[in-house]
Chains A and B, each alone.
Chain A
Amino acid sequence: MTDTVLDIRNVSKRFGDNLANDDISLSLAKGEIVALLGENGAGKTTLMSILFGHYVPDTGSVSVMRQMLPPGKPRAAIRAGVGMVHQHFSLAPNLTVLENVMTGTESLWSLGSNVSAGRKKLIEISQRFGLKVDPDARLGDLSVGEQQRVEILKALYNDARILVLDEPTAVLTKLEAETLFSTLKDMARQGLSLIFISHKLDEVMATADRIVVLRGGKLVAERNVGETSKAELAELMVGRKVTRPVREASTPGEIVLEAAGITVRSGGVDRLKSVDFRLRAGEVLGIIGVSGNGQAVLAQLLSGTIGRSAGDLVLFGKGAGDLTVADAVSSGIGRIPEDRNRDGAIGEMAIWENAVLERLPEFSKAGLVDRKAGIAFATKIISAFDVRGGSPTSRIRLLSGGNMQKLILGRNLIEHPRILLAAQPARGLDEGAVAAVHERILEARKAGTAVLLISEDLDEVMALADRIQAIVGGRLSPSVNAEDVDARRLGLMMAGEWGGSADAV
């Protein structure tokens, strides 16, 4: 008989017309790791927010160690031993690690804070679980991986026996993610129970004991990890077979964009060093590299937000002087920015406003914004690109990442740009949305758009690109045909080994 520590019974929660959780029951045993698998919007986070007392369920109950939790009381959940590690960390960057951890752990009426006892306890926990961190560091100075460690430590400091992690790897590098999962397994061995929310099949299969699949607010399946496969889980999660689109052979057209010896210098450092590439109509050129190697600067250069200090840029056969953002838009360069929330959309503005912002002159009449035409344009994008979760007048912030990305893609592709600049287009999206985005990019290629794909995802680049160049420390490798390389060779290129030509520039 297993020792049940958590029992969620028949929980339902409705937001307006949306039934976010539909009669979900779930239990968790001591020392067990359960993965809550589902696409964005499947109701995973809602369920966990109910468990933690952020939301009050419409029906159903949560009990921890056979004690019913009062609904809507985070404090009661903490006291019962539930710890939550949020996807967007609940931390204060200006405070120290220890302060972040100790907040709310002592009586508010006591006249002093027992900092030395707190520090001792924190260090003890961090050693026991191998979560190394400096208690006196300012939180904002830590890396994302370290900040997550602090989130976990915060829960453990509150004597959590059940730890809930919401998409813990969304913000981590691959290496950080691996470290995290070995820590989680170690915690389970020490008797903690864990639930982690994810839509990544690899990590679910590698880490969980049991997998619970949610879809559209319903619990659709429950599998022990030994009895299932990635393919089955993918199908359960999406509700149909998902296949990523395949690139068909094509003959590229004329050169639309050519860069020769381009150097970008900013802040006293060469961000791009004498970069050469050519982009033809109807082909996808993949620029692969680990983040922070200059690809962001390359994208900024081609969008017109940063100038070059040396080199020539030839756009559609003509020398492009100092390319401005307006030039980029008017000459038909569509752009999908790397950080869609920061550079791609204005969260508080309506979907239609976001759709027309970069081409306002086309949507003005006598100096006024033509609201009707803008809404019609947005409606067209929404239906053509299958954007779900909002009407043209709702705020874009309310869309999920995948749907926001579809809208951004749509506003660029609907007018058939001659060049599409796609920076990390599938980052943070779930399986269904990734397939949709890839399909659209390949369609654009077929229609004759030249696509510059900047990505750090090997699979993505190999699936979409005709030719590939690696970017390392601001330098671009010579281009290779996608047919001629495998993952290993690309990995070497990303590490800067491209056959002696690295120093030739």
Chain B
Amino acid sequence: MSALFDILASAGLWAAVLRIATPLILATLGALISERAGVLNLGIEGIMTFGAMVGWLAVYNGADLWVGLLVAALGGAMFGLLHSVLTVTLGLSQHVSGLGVTLFASSFAYYVFRLMVPVAGTPPTIVPFQPLDIPGLSDLPFFGPAFFTQTAPTYLAIGLAIALAYLIARTPVGLAIRMTGENPHAAEAQGLNPMAIRYGAVIFGSALMGVGGAFLTLSAFNSFFPTMVQGRGWICIALVVFASWKPERALLGAILFALFDAFQLRLQTVLSGVVPYQIFLMIPYLLSIAALAVMARRARVPQALMQPYRRGER
């Protein structure tokens, strides 16, 4: 038992939690804002892969790290536009379109990567974001190494979660997005343009997914390989439900999942030999399913989620 407690009390664990959580926070927020407007975006997995690739590629070719993130956002937005055309304008099934975008975006990412970067024995690397040294805070015992040795994008992600929570709950545009996700006909009756709002939410959300993917190649790691997103996108789709479509709870959910994940990584080393490590790999997912089952029962789903909106038709 004390081994378990030692893990929880180590600053290294908590540093890892925030690092693992960051791409989840960003992509979950992206999926969340799009679903709040009524569009499910299952393109998330592929968009994250593409963002990871294109952001890395920009930096590899000499761009600044921040420019790399911006390029990843634009890459994500491009696929968001594609998903919007298919689901909003053409009113196609959001599931099918999303899965198509995922397959397309991940293959396209690999294709571009192979075109631009020759096959090599060791993958090429870049110099990623370095931990920020925050005067005063980073030097605190335990809390310093646990919470204040992250890279800039992590703080950006946390700040963004808070900003989006405010945007959705308190601003006119947030209300317009919620209304569009609940009843686009009502939004139109109030003089809003539900189509434009959906386009905006999907494109913005996809940009966040791209940035979430780019965090993997520009901060958590320093090179790109095609399978690196590893189902994180699907976790984010579940996290949106877990969060009851609320950004502040998405932040919490992403951190909770990251805690499971970081915990099992350390558990592997402590208990290796006793139990096969694959068991530990399953733990975060099993716990997520359990948490989802508990939380999602009370969740209020946006009423118009996955329903295409056609003007003048009810």
Residues of A within 8 A of B44 (CB): none
- Decide: B312 and A54 in contact? CB cutoff 8 A: yes
Nearest B residue (CB) for A79: B191
**Whole-angstrom distance between the Cβ of B301 and the nearest chain A Cβ:** 9
Interface of B, secondary structure class, is: helix
- Decide: A104 and B187 in contact? CB cutoff 8 A: yes
- Decide: B179 and A92 in contact? CB cutoff 8 A: yes
Within 8 A of B (CB), among A105-149: 105-113, 115
Within the assembled complex, what's the spacing in Å between the Cα atoms of A89 and B182?
13
A283 at the interface (CB under 8 A from B): no
Residues of B within 8 A of A158 (CB): 190
Within 8 A of A (CB), among B170-192: 170-173, 175-176, 178-179, 182-183, 185-192
Number of chain B interface residues as a range: 20 to 34
Number of chain A interface residues as a range: 20 to 34
Residues of B within 8 A of A79 (CB): 191
User: Hey, what's the 0/1 contact readout for A65-100 against B, CB within 8 Å counting as 1?
Assistant: 000000000110011000010101111111100011
- Decide: A108 and B173 in contact? CB cutoff 8 A: yes
Nearest B residue (CB) for A111: B171
A49 at the interface (CB under 8 A from B): yes
Residues of A within 8 A of B178 (CB): 92, 95, 99
**Whole-angstrom distance between the Cβ of B62 and the nearest chain A Cβ:** 36
Given A54-B312, A92-B179: A105 and B190 interface contact (C-beta under 8 Å): yes
- Interface CB pairs A-B, < 8 A, 22: A49-B312, A54-B188, A74-B189, A74-B191, A78-B190, A78-B191, A79-B191, A84-B189, A90-B183, A92-B179, A92-B303, A94-B303, A95-B178, A99-B178, A102-B172, A104-B176, A104-B179, A105-B172, A107-B172, A108-B173, A110-B172, A112-B170
- Decide: A106 and B190 in contact? CB cutoff 8 A: no
Contact of B186 among A54, A55, A103, A113 (CB under 8 A): A103
- Decide: B170 and A103 in contact? CB cutoff 8 A: no
**Whole-angstrom distance between the Cβ of B204 and the nearest chain A Cβ:** 13
- Decide: A103 and B175 in contact? CB cutoff 8 A: yes
Residues of A within 8 A of B175 (CB): 95, 99, 102-103, 113
Interface of A, secondary structure class, is: loop
- Decide: B186 and A90 in contact? CB cutoff 8 A: yes
Within 8 A of B (CB), among A140-186: 154, 158
**Whole-angstrom distance between the Cβ of A276 and the nearest chain B Cβ:** 42
Within the assembled complex, what's the spacing in Å between the Cα atoms of A89 and B188?
12
Within the assembled complex, what's the spacing in Å between the Cα atoms of A491 and B217?
76
B314 at the interface (CB under 8 A from A): yes
Within the assembled complex, what's the spacing in Å between the Cα atoms of A103 and B173?
9
- Decide: A112 and B171 in contact? CB cutoff 8 A: yes
**Whole-angstrom distance between the Cβ of B172 and the nearest chain A Cβ:** 4
Within the assembled complex, what's the spacing in Å between the Cα atoms of A113 and B191?
17
**Whole-angstrom distance between the Cβ of A52 and the nearest chain B Cβ:** 8
Residues of B within 8 A of A49 (CB): 312
B302 at the interface (CB under 8 A from A): yes
- Decide: A113 and B176 in contact? CB cutoff 8 A: no
Given A55-B312, A108-B176: A90 and B171 interface contact (C-beta under 8 Å): no
**Whole-angstrom distance between the Cβ of A360 and the nearest chain B Cβ:** 27
Within the assembled complex, what's the spacing in Å between the Cα atoms of A367 and B129?
65
Nearest B residue (CB) for A84: B189
Binding site for B on A (CB under 8 A): 49, 54-55, 74-75, 78-79, 84, 86, 88-95, 99-100, 102-113, 115, 154, 158
Nearest B residue (CB) for A105: B190
Residues of B within 8 A of A92 (CB): 178-179, 182-183, 186, 303
**Whole-angstrom distance between the Cβ of B273 and the nearest chain A Cβ:** 51
- Decide: A75 and B191 in contact? CB cutoff 8 A: yes
Nearest B residue (CB) for A109: B173
**Whole-angstrom distance between the Cβ of A224 and the nearest chain B Cβ:** 32
B300 at the interface (CB under 8 A from A): yes
Given A90-B183, A93-B303, A113-B172: A103 and B314 interface contact (C-beta under 8 Å): no
Nearest B residue (CB) for A53: B191
Binding site for A on B (CB under 8 A): 170-173, 175-176, 178-179, 182-183, 185-192, 300, 302-303, 311-312, 314
- Decide: A104 and B190 in contact? CB cutoff 8 A: yes
- Decide: A154 and B190 in contact? CB cutoff 8 A: yes
Residues of B within 8 A of A54 (CB): 188, 311-312
Residues of A within 8 A of B176 (CB): 103-104, 108
- Decide: A113 and B171 in contact? CB cutoff 8 A: yes
Given A92-B178, A92-B182, A92-B303: A103 and B187 interface contact (C-beta under 8 Å): yes
Given A54-B312, A104-B192, A154-B190: A94 and B172 interface contact (C-beta under 8 Å): no
Nearest B residue (CB) for A77: B191
Within the assembled complex, what's the spacing in Å between the Cα atoms of A327 and B188?
47
Nearest B residue (CB) for A99: B175
Residues of B within 8 A of A78 (CB): 190-191
**Whole-angstrom distance between the Cβ of A116 and the nearest chain B Cβ:** 12
**Whole-angstrom distance between the Cβ of A112 and the nearest chain B Cβ:** 6
**Whole-angstrom distance between the Cβ of B37 and the nearest chain A Cβ:** 13
Given A104-B176, A113-B171, A113-B175: A91 and B183 interface contact (C-beta under 8 Å): yes
Nearest A residue (CB) for B185: A90
**Whole-angstrom distance between the Cβ of A209 and the nearest chain B Cβ:** 27
Residues of B within 8 A of A103 (CB): 175-176, 179, 186-187, 190, 192
**A79, A103, A113 pick with most chain B CB within 10 angstroms:** A103
Within the assembled complex, what's the spacing in Å between the Cα atoms of A40 and B281?
62
Nearest B residue (CB) for A52: B189
**Whole-angstrom distance between the Cβ of B211 and the nearest chain A Cβ:** 22
Residues of B within 8 A of A107 (CB): 172
- Decide: B171 and A94 in contact? CB cutoff 8 A: no
Nearest B residue (CB) for A83: B189
Within the assembled complex, what's the spacing in Å between the Cα atoms of A84 and B172?
22
Residues of B within 8 A of A109 (CB): 173
Nearest A residue (CB) for B304: A92
Please list the 5 inter-chain residue pairs (A to B) with the smallest Cβ-Cβ separation, ordered nearest first: A92-B182, A104-B190, A75-B191, A90-B186, A106-B172
Within the assembled complex, what's the spacing in Å between the Cα atoms of A91 and B182?
8
Within the assembled complex, what's the spacing in Å between the Cα atoms of A74 and B185?
11
Within the assembled complex, what's the spacing in Å between the Cα atoms of A74 and B192?
9
Within the assembled complex, what's the spacing in Å between the Cα atoms of A79 and B191?
9
Nearest A residue (CB) for B192: A104
Residues of B within 8 A of A55 (CB): 312
**A55, A79, A95, A112 pick with most chain B CB within 10 angstroms:** A95
Nearest B residue (CB) for A87: B314
Within the assembled complex, what's the spacing in Å between the Cα atoms of A90 and B183?
7
Residues of B within 8 A of A74 (CB): 188-189, 191
Within the assembled complex, what's the spacing in Å between the Cα atoms of A91 and B189?
9
**Whole-angstrom distance between the Cβ of B313 and the nearest chain A Cβ:** 10
User: Known pairs A109-B173, A110-B172. 11 more at Cβ < 8 A?
Assistant: A92-B179, A92-B182, A95-B179, A100-B179, A102-B172, A103-B176, A104-B176, A106-B172, A108-B172, A113-B172, A154-B190
Residues of A within 8 A of B170 (CB): 112-113, 115
